[in-house]
Amino acid sequence: MKNRILYLFLTIVLTLTGFASAQPKLAKATFAGGCFWCMEPPFDKVPGVVSTTSGYAGGQKKDPTYEEVSAGYTGHAEVVQVLYDPSKVTYQKLLDVFWHNIDPLVKNRQFCDGGSQYRSAIFYHDQDQQKLAEESKVVIEKSGRFKEPIVTEIVALNEFYPAEEYHQDFYKKSSIRYNSYRLGCGRDRRLHELWGQ
């Protein structure tokens, strides 16, 4: 009886260990590009991205609310946190998606939204991300595409706070309102001016 229990225990442990090691190791990336509603869709389309979560980062207040952040009281920026599988998509690819979905030339504003809560920023999670983010910024600066300086911040992520549930996947839940906002904000028109097709 003891041997059967021991065998069963070892089988369970080995199965669980094998199962755990078979799971992909996921990573996170956090970007601020103005309205977080508009930053989820481009990342959700990328193969290897597991999920996106709208939220707040870069401020002083613990557990900020949307009302506080959008009023500019907390120092936070609206951000999207990307959960991804590094074996399927690189951080460099995510940086490329980020840059091509923001206006890197304006400070404390993105499209029709003004204030530091709508600033553009890369919030790095570790030194590797910091290095790659800084390198990607230098590439854009040296490309000659823009005469104005790149003002997008590259800063360490201290804390990420998920936004309220009604903000998550807003472009899917309220597509008419989302598309109306995006069009009215002139986001796609400006992105086309900056980056082309």
The whole-number pLDDT of residue 22 equals 59
- Spatial distance between the Cα atoms of 27 and 79, rounded to a whole number of angstroms: 16
What the chain holds in terms of domains, given with CATH numbers, is 26-195 (3.30.1060.10)
Q: Is the Cβ–Cβ distance between 79 and 64 less than 8 Å?
A: no
Instruction: Give yes or no for residue 147 having a pLDDT over 60.
Output: yes
Positions marked catalytic: 35
The whole-number pLDDT of residue 3 equals 41
More confident of the two residues 32 and 10: 32
Q: Is the Cβ–Cβ distance between 89 and 47 less than 8 Å?
A: yes
The whole-number pLDDT of residue 57 equals 98
pTM, two decimals, is: 0.87
The whole-number pLDDT of residue 24 equals 77
- Spatial distance between the Cα atoms of 97 and 191, rounded to a whole number of angstroms: 12
The whole-number pLDDT of residue 62 equals 96
- Spatial distance between the Cα atoms of 133 and 73, rounded to a whole number of angstroms: 28
